[in-house]
Amino acid sequence: MRHTVGISEMIASKNPADVLITYSLGSCIGVVVYDPVALVGGMAHCMLPLSKIDKAKAEKKPCMFIDSGIPVLLNEVLKMGAQMKDLVVKVAGGSQLMDDKKLFRIGERNYAVLRKLLWKNNILIKAEDVGGQISRTLTLEIATGRVAIKSKGKEWEL
């Protein structure tokens, strides 16, 4: 069954029939975590790097922010039986859309905060497709752990 992960949302699953998908990753970051041993996975679609800009929003929608959303994603897959040592992390997004003068650099900042947060937790990114000036669609198949990206009519595995 196909489940859409909306902006500022997260879904985790251990149902092999599930496919998680998120659309329109521009400056947002899509993060997939998957345990190939437990066959548990999850996906988050985070908009902004740091929750300190709006604590109230972070409490209501932690996945709006990298620093509050990624711990929620990790905790959810661990509760479903994933093991930290077996996690495979893949990342997409972080584009520089509509910021030609590079004033805000949201995509770049999102990616930097994500890397730092994962590094502090001894988690490495296995594969990524970040930056540039494209929008991406990201999918995760729970049964196989296959992660794919679609953009501009093309699809590739991550």
* Model confidence band, residue 96 (pLDDT cutoffs 50, 70, 90): confident
Q: CATH 3.30.1330.200: does it fit domain 2-157?
A: yes
pLDDT given for residue 100 in this prediction: 59
pLDDT given for residue 103 in this prediction: 60
The DSSP-derived string for 74-94 is: HHHHHHTT--GGG-EEEEEE-
Helices marked H in the chain: 55-60, 66-79, 106-120
CA of residue 91 relative to chain centroid, distance: 6
pLDDT given for residue 23 in this prediction: 97
Instruction: Answer yes or no: 46 catalytic.
Output: no
pLDDT given for residue 136 in this prediction: 97
Instruction: Tell me how far apart the alpha carbons of residues 110 and 77 are, in angstroms, rounded to a whole number.
Output: 22
Range with the poorest average pLDDT among 47-51, 86-90, 103-107, 126-130 = 103-107
Instruction: Tell me how far apart the alpha carbons of residues 93 and 129 are, in angstroms, rounded to a whole number.
Output: 7
Give the mean pLDDT of 44-67. 96
pLDDT given for residue 44 in this prediction: 98
Alpha-carbon distances of 133 from 71, 130, 148, rounded to whole Å: 28, 9, 18
Give the mean pLDDT of 38-59. 96
Q: Are strands 2-4 and 154-157 parallel, antiparallel or unpaired?
A: unpaired
Q: Are 11 and 42 in contact (CB under 8 A)?
A: yes
pLDDT given for residue 38 in this prediction: 98
Q: Which of 21, 28, 63, 117 is catalytic?
A: 28
Reported as a single tens digit per residue, the pLDDT across 112-144 is 999 999 999 999 999 999 999 999 999 999 999
